[in-house]
Chain A
Amino acid sequence: MSHHLVEARGLSHVYEDGTVALQDVSFRITHGESVAIIGANGAGKSTLLMHLNGHLSPTRGEVRIGETPLTKETLPAIRRTVGLVFQDPDDQLFMPTVYDDVAFGPRNQGLPEADVDRRVREALERVGIWHVRAKPPYRLSGGEKKRAAIAGVLAMAPDVLVMDEPTSGLDPYARRQLIGLLGEFSHTRIFTSHDLDMVMDLCPRTIVMLQGSIMADGLTREIFADDALLARCRLERPFALQACPVCGHTHG
């Protein structure tokens, strides 16, 4: 059985106040794929992510990870499989030191301390911030915080990485570095983002959402070439695909 499959079948979600956030959403993401979920504010991206990790339960439809449907019973196993990195690292880092924070997940998995130590070291070295392990998280820079949050999820050895707006709030250099890092991962990856240039770099496949429904699901290049679709979904071509403001030349 592959744990790396992520599947939504007719997923709908209605919030208590009656807001319809997801409407009959279906997709299947297979082993090792890197997929972007894009859409305007309020399109339902975040709600969808909350479903992939079982933080919300569907009003209708279901989510399957591997071949396992997401239910109350399978939730602990699924949370081990799907690692969710939140948009604001400050929401995710709560232990007194970076080391303890990254160790939080493995310790919850009940691993012996030697294994926890190995996982923490590997994860922090992977994201390149082993040297700040003894610092309290609030003393880190924005880029380091993001890396620490990612390390916290990597240390749980998930098969699927789900990230909400990974590049938001980063300076251009930190953003470029992070994109490089994310490109090296072999996990099944699902990103939401407004950073469409990042999507171009990292995700061969894109799912476009509008008002809780999937408007398009296909090759990123083709979707970004469809100006009518982008306009309808309140999106624009990535800068890399727009005409050069100086000479008017278009790549892509």
Chain B
Amino acid sequence: MSAPAVIAGLLDFRRLDLLATGDSALHRLDARAKVLVTLVFIVCTMSFHRYAVASLIPFFVFPLAVASAARLPIAFLLRKVALVLPVALLIGLPNPWFDREVLVQMGGLQISGGWISLLSIVLRSMLAAAAAIALVAVTEFPAICGALERMGMPRSLAVQLLFLYRYLAVLNEEAGRMTTARDQRGGGRPLSIRLYGMLVGRLLLRTWDRAERIYLAMCARGFTGDLRRGQPSRLGGPDIAFVAGWCGLFLLLRTHDVTHWLGTAVLGLLR
């Protein structure tokens, strides 16, 4: 598979966009509520100490609950989450070399702190990715940008973010066309580095051109730098309940070792 095809595969925006236009109780929540809960979720999971593993596991309940409540296709979400694994591994892999102090002794098996912190990094990245993808799959992207802006992000940054998203989709389409054109005449030969560089350069120029035309079209319809959306939504009862419920749970999971309690309780029942 050539590089643009990989890009096209990674940035499966249409699918996410389509999911985001769905209609479920979660879709209807105010975007600010969902953004806030996702942010609190990420801060809670990231703030654990570096050997945390067991206490991270219960946090998977959030993306799973969102996915099942909004009837998102789990396989699709898992594929997206799997995309962060290489990055997480790259960051975490040196740890077992540097941190050789044995932390866990299971019979003859000794596990060093490095391996545990590697596992912890992988879990955290998966949690963050799962939560972020679940958020994007139940909220239209412009609504997320609008929510960020209303929560205090500078307007120009919010507009930039929206364009980034829109132009990634453009890049995706251009890449798709170039891949087809190359495959057509490539004779099944692998891509040389030189050709690869040329393709990426062309891709940049073509995307640039198209982005400029889109910008012109926006100006032609009176765009002056702020993106106005319809009636600003109001936070209602369900939004507040959503924020309070999930943030409460996250704080509980963060401050108390729920996994340990559960383990003890289960063992108690078995006894």
Could you tell me which A residues sit within 8 Å of B by CB distance? 50, 53, 55, 76, 79-80, 83-84, 86, 88, 90-92, 94-97, 100, 103-105, 107-110, 113, 116, 134, 136, 138, 152-153, 156
Contact = CB atoms under 8 A, between A and B. Distances in A.
B223 interface: yes
A84 B223 CA distance: 14
B140 interface: yes
Contact of B220 (A84, A88, A116): A84
B247 to A, nearest CB: 28
B221 interface: yes
Interface string B8-20: 0000001001101
A109 B224 CA distance: 10
B221 A105 contact: yes
B234 interface: no
B142 A100 contact: yes
Chain A at the B interface: SS class:
helix
19 contacts: A55-B220, A76-B222, A79-B219, A83-B220, A92-B214, A94-B218, A96-B20, A96-B21, A105-B221, A107-B229, A107-B230, A108-B221, A108-B224, A110-B228, A134-B21, A136-B18, A136-B21, A156-B221, A156-B222
B207 to A, nearest CB: 12
Nearest to A56: B216
A105 B21 contact: no
A91 B210 contact: yes
Contacts of A79: 219-222
A146 B223 CA distance: 20
A88 B210 CA distance: 10
Contacts of B28: none
A96 B17 contact: yes
Given A96-B140, A96-B142, A136-B21, A53 B220 contact: yes
Given A79-B219, A113-B230, 20 more contacts: A50-B216, A76-B224, A79-B221, A79-B222, A84-B220, A86-B220, A91-B214, A92-B217, A96-B140, A96-B142, A97-B21, A100-B142, A107-B230, A108-B221, A108-B228, A134-B21, A136-B17, A153-B221, A156-B221, A156-B222
A191 to B, nearest CB: 16
B213 interface: yes
B213 A86 contact: yes
A90 to B, nearest CB: 8
Contacts of A104: 218, 221, 223
A50 B230 CA distance: 30
A90 B230 CA distance: 23
B173 to A, nearest CB: 8
Nearest to A84: B220
A91 B224 contact: no
B111 to A, nearest CB: 47
B250 interface: no
Contact of A109 (B214, B219, B222): B222
A152 B218 CA distance: 11
A113 B233 CA distance: 13
Nearest to B17: A136
B231 interface: yes
B80 interface: no
B62 interface: no
A144 B228 CA distance: 24
Contacts of A103: 230
A75 to B, nearest CB: 9
